[in-house]
Amino acid sequence: MKLDKLYSLRRDFTIIGVTGRIGSGCSDVSKLLSKDFNDLEKSGLRSITDIKPESTFSKKYKITRDFLKYQNNWVKFDVIEYKKVLLFYIINKHKGGKGFKLKALFSKYFKEKIDEDNSGFIDDLLNELNLIFENNLRLITRVDSFKSFKELKDKNKLKELNKIFFEPAFNNFSSQIIQTLDKFGYIRRLKLLHNVACNIRSTGNPIEENENTKSIDHIYSIAYLINRIIKARKQNNDHYKKPTKIVIDSLRNSLEMMFFKERYSAFYMIACKAPFSDQITDKIKSKLAENQKINNKNIDNIAIKVKKLDSIEYKTNDFSKGNFYAPDVENCIQKSDYHLINLEVKDINTYLALSNVLVKNQFLTREEQLLKLIALILKPGLITPSPTERTMQIAHTAKLNSGCISRNVGAVITDKNYHIRSIGWNDVPKGQTPCSLRDARDLINKKNDKNNHYSDFEKGVIGDNTSFKYKNKQKSKFPEILEDYLGKGLNKNKNDLNGKNCAFCFKTIHNHYEGEANQVHTKSLHAEENAMLQITKIGGNGVENGILFTTASPCELCSKKAYQLGLRNVFYIDPYPGISNDQIFKGGINKNQPIMLPFSGAIGNSFQKLYDSFMPYKDEVNMSLEVESNNKLGIQFQYMLEKMGTEKTKKFIKENGNIDDQLMKKVIEKGLENLGNKK
């Protein structure tokens, strides 16, 4: 087709990363992307009559579906499973001068708990694994032949890497290893791969731990290997003139995610979410039940342990301390480009029944959501954003205004028709200085601050009747506490900040020395709270039955205010820790309860990439169909002459008929010439 070259980059090369909590559907999404369109159509694409054919929502759905169904617009993806990448790494590194013995690896990490004694079954496990290894010696030798993955650029080596990783032999070998490990303990297998991944990111070695936990020298070790596998696949597909479509299942470290974002403009990150609060547990149990190596009697117990591991990988506790090798799924979700709710066809009606009537018929199955994403990747601007997407994008942009140094949050409040009533972000009250602009050294060095960027309490100015001491600390002034918290590294003679501002969080430091976790001490208003107050401050209509959009679900305090305002729906990108939904929203009369719904769709930079068309759609249609039309300027010029209404102009039109470009040019030139003569 005439414009195929224009879209060739998008058509020929796409990489999708998938992330999400355990049980949220990452593997399901990856498998769907690896299917043919007909398989996708059978599994979860509804007919137009199922979703109100008269609505613009169904019209958009039909356009994307028809587009991908046409000829070869849908191309199935190759899957790079993260766990198989780890096995590849283990096989490659288990020999050599700096290698290790498999027994050492499994003895150390194949445990449910750190102190578990696994000596009773390790030999039996190794015997079964060694048998698998002996049956695949040639494959193992080929994997061993690779040295540095980072520097792997030789075309023949890339050709060999493509053959190994995507051929049935390695897939069968990996599946046998995984099944054997599951036989000896599903949780043990998860813990093993969890620790192996952390070690590789920390030291470059699956078994070697790094005492310097904050080292980032090897942080991209696994990403380098995945990147080489992508390069190898692309080299192979280019040779056969095939498009390269790859999905990575699944990324759980945000720095690895950023690695691919920085390298590939064709990279998109999908965050998978469970639609129901109890669905993750059910999905985990369902997957466990499918595993023939797991005793059904133990499924409930195993599911609880899986949830605990998920909680560890989801939270950012290690990551926020500088241990960047650790999983941080929460950050991955926050930084994702496209959010997908794992809704199967059978779930749709249940989900619609739970949601507010105002937002019904705006939900797509997971297959339909994938359809929408792939269609927009191939043809940006094919359809316009949904009301929830366009509004959440505003909230996402609003959070950039936040002066909070802990977490940036944006919020938008609309009426029931998605008309915006207020925008907010978490920040200090107007007239105070945002935390990002304040410097701890001003307080520690007792610099005179005429602009009152710091409170009397922070300056250590305490009234005569105030008695204040931090728990277990014989210090009563905040500047002393601040210096103690930051350590001796921050003083007049040493600065490890490389010229950056030494911003500090008053709440964190105050709570640390009080031994509390109190939100009362935060200097900032929450984004939702700020948006609500803006309505009061500037006046306007009420927002009863309206909708709250927030990049992080509201805390208990903001949830109570949303309930009081009569907001009916709350769309959020990432759940905020707490009990706001179960404790606040699910109390009282059912018809008054706000409904919390995970956001689905494009967000951030990808919003622009997917919805900003390459050219006006009218021009594209005209060029594709080779439409010839009368010159617009000529038509307007003729209309102008007719409006003049003189006998001469009427005679001119009658004699010359339609105005073409050349005739119009002559008339204008003659007119300009006469105008010049008059001057």
> Which one, of 486, 487, 466, 481, lies nearest residue 514 by Cα?
481
Q: Which H helix or E strand runs over 15?
A: strand 13-20
Number of domains observed in the structure of the chain: 4
Residues 466 and 554 in one domain: no
> Which one, of 164, 112, 113, lies nearest residue 136 by Cα?
164
Asked if residue 615 belongs to a domain, the reply is no
Pairing of strands 267-273, 601-602: unpaired
SS3 221: helix
Residue-wise pLDDT tens digits, 68-119: 998 779 999 999 999 999 999 999 887 644 556 788 999 999 999 989 999 9
Residue 328 and residue 194 in contact, taking contact as beta carbons nearer than 8 Å:
no
Residues 442 and 485 in one domain: yes
pLDDT band at 471 (very low <50, low <70, confident <90, very high): low
Residues 204 and 249 in one domain: yes
Supply the pTM of this predicted model. 0.87
Asked if residue 375 belongs to a domain, the reply is no
Rounding to the nearest 10 degrees, give the CA dihedral for residues 217, 222, 228, 233.
-160
Asked if residue 406 belongs to a domain, the reply is yes
**Which residue has tokens 């490659």?**
92
> Which one, of 55, 596, 556, 548, lies nearest residue 277 by Cα?
596
Residues 151 and 278 in one domain: yes
The token pair that represents 413 in the structure block: 């409040």
- What is the CATH number for 405? 3.40.140.10
Provide the pLDDT for residue 84. Answer: 96
Mark residue 52 as left, alpha or beta (left: phi above 0; alpha: psi -120 to 50; beta: remaining). left
pLDDT band at 606 (very low <50, low <70, confident <90, very high): very high
Q: Is the peptide bond before 336 cis (omega within 30 degrees of 0)?
A: no
Could you give the percent of the chain with pLDDT greater than 90? Answer: 50
The mean-pLDDT minimum among 269-273, 396-400, 660-664 falls in: 660-664
Residues 6+ apart with CB under 8 A from 598: 273, 275, 339, 341, 571, 572, 573, 575
Instruction: State how far the alpha carbon of 2 is from the alpha carbons of 57, 63, 161, 610, 623, in Å.
Output: 30, 20, 36, 21, 8
Provide the pLDDT for residue 358. Answer: 59
What integer is the mean pLDDT of 516-534? 88
Strand partners, 659: none
What integer is the mean pLDDT of 363-391? 95
Which stretches within 49-101 are classed as H helix? 56-69, 82-93
Provide the pLDDT for residue 477. Answer: 78
Provide the pLDDT for residue 102. Answer: 84
Residues 586 and 638 in one domain: no
Residue-wise pLDDT tens digits, 29-64: 999 999 999 999 898 898 887 777 778 888 999 999
Separation between Cα atoms, residue 256 and residue 268, nearest integer Å: 13
Q: What is the DSSP letter of 406?
A: S
> What strand order describes the sheet that includes 595-598?
420-425, 410-414, 547-552, 569-574, 595-598
Strands (E), 128-280: 244-249, 267-273
Structural domain span for residue 278: 78-341
pLDDT band at 654 (very low <50, low <70, confident <90, very high): low
Check whether 543 has a pLDDT greater than 80.
yes
What integer is the mean pLDDT of 167-178? 95
More confident residue, 477 or 650: 477
- Please return the burial class of 654, using the count of CB atoms within 10 Å of its CB with bins 0-12, 13-18 and 19+: exposed
The token pair that represents 287 in the structure block: 């997957």
Asked if residue 374 belongs to a domain, the reply is no
> Which one, of 508, 513, 530, 432, lies nearest residue 469 by Cα?
513
Domain-terminating residue out of 488, 517, 546: 517
Residues 274 and 163 in one domain: yes
Provide the pLDDT for residue 679. Answer: 47
Asked if residue 490 belongs to a domain, the reply is yes
Residue 595 and residue 356 in contact, taking contact as beta carbons nearer than 8 Å:
yes
Residues 6+ apart with CB under 8 A from 200: 86, 89, 206, 218, 221, 222
Check whether 634 has a pLDDT greater than 90.
no
- Please return the burial class of 56, using the count of CB atoms within 10 Å of its CB with bins 0-12, 13-18 and 19+: exposed
Asked if residue 61 belongs to a domain, the reply is no
Provide the pLDDT for residue 81. Answer: 97
Separation between Cα atoms, residue 23 and residue 28, nearest integer Å: 10
Residues 493 and 411 in one domain: no
Provide the pLDDT for residue 71. Answer: 79
Domain-terminating residue out of 341, 356, 375: 341
Residues 482 and 508 in one domain: yes
Residues 452 and 590 in one domain: no
Check whether 566 has a pLDDT greater than 70.
yes
Asked if residue 51 belongs to a domain, the reply is no
Provide the pLDDT for residue 99. Answer: 55
More confident residue, 659 or 236: 236
Provide the pLDDT for residue 670. Answer: 59
- Please return the burial class of 560, using the count of CB atoms within 10 Å of its CB with bins 0-12, 13-18 and 19+: middle
Check whether 608 has a pLDDT greater than 60.
yes
Asked if residue 627 belongs to a domain, the reply is no
Residue 303 and residue 288 in contact, taking contact as beta carbons nearer than 8 Å:
yes
* Tally of CB atoms within 10 A around 565: 18
Separation between Cα atoms, residue 288 and residue 280, nearest integer Å: 12
* Tally of CB atoms within 10 A around 531: 29
pLDDT band at 493 (very low <50, low <70, confident <90, very high): very low
What integer is the mean pLDDT of 283-302? 72
Separation between Cα atoms, residue 404 and residue 295, nearest integer Å: 49
pLDDT band at 280 (very low <50, low <70, confident <90, very high): low
What integer is the mean pLDDT of 300-322? 85
Domain-terminating residue out of 284, 306, 341: 341
Residues 400 and 496 in one domain: no
Residues 227 and 181 in one domain: yes
Residue-wise pLDDT tens digits, 247-266: 999 999 999 999 999 999 99
Residues 183 and 198 in one domain: yes
More confident residue, 579 or 494: 579
